[in-house]
Amino acid sequence: AQTVTQSQPEMSVQEAETVTLSCTYDTSENNYYLFWYKQPPSRQMILVIRQEAYKQQNATENRFSVNFQKAAKSFSLKISDSQLGDTAMYFCAFMKPLSRNTPLVFGKGTRLSVIA
């Protein structure tokens, strides 16, 4: 079974600074998908970024980028120029090769606080 580990239960960062959230996973699959989701106080799950394992290039979405190390099974999220609105729970998630019933496997989450 796949597992996702987020070793940082809580983190804080000053506004405008950069922060990196870590995530490791365990799988025997060669093709898979990795995601970072944000859950703000509203509790609505928001997709931040996704990465396909077969792509070597790290995904980037505006201020959010990942460092995907397939051999190390590591998938960290870097948030640049942190903003107060980035305060949220961040969940790393894994998904096996896509089929209609493939569920997301979530890590336990990292609570990020952006401080003014």
Partner 1 sequence: GAVVSQHPSRVICKSGTSVKIECRSLDFQATTMFWYRQFPKQSLMLMATSNEGSKATYEQGVEKDKFLINHASLTLSTLTVTSAHPEDSSFYICSARDAGTYEQYFGPGTRLTVT
Residues of this chain that interact with partner 1 (CB under 8 A) are: 42-45, 91, 98-101, 103-104, 106-109, 111
Which is nearer to partner 1, 20 or 89 (by Cβ)?
Answer: 89
Q: How far is the CB of 92 from partner 1 (least distance, A)?
A: 10
Find the shortest distance in angstroms from Cβ 89 to partner 1: 8
By beta-carbon proximity to partner 1, the closer residue of 66 and 109 is 109
Q: Rounded to an integer, what distance in angstroms lies between the CA atom of residue 3 and that of residue 96?
A: 11
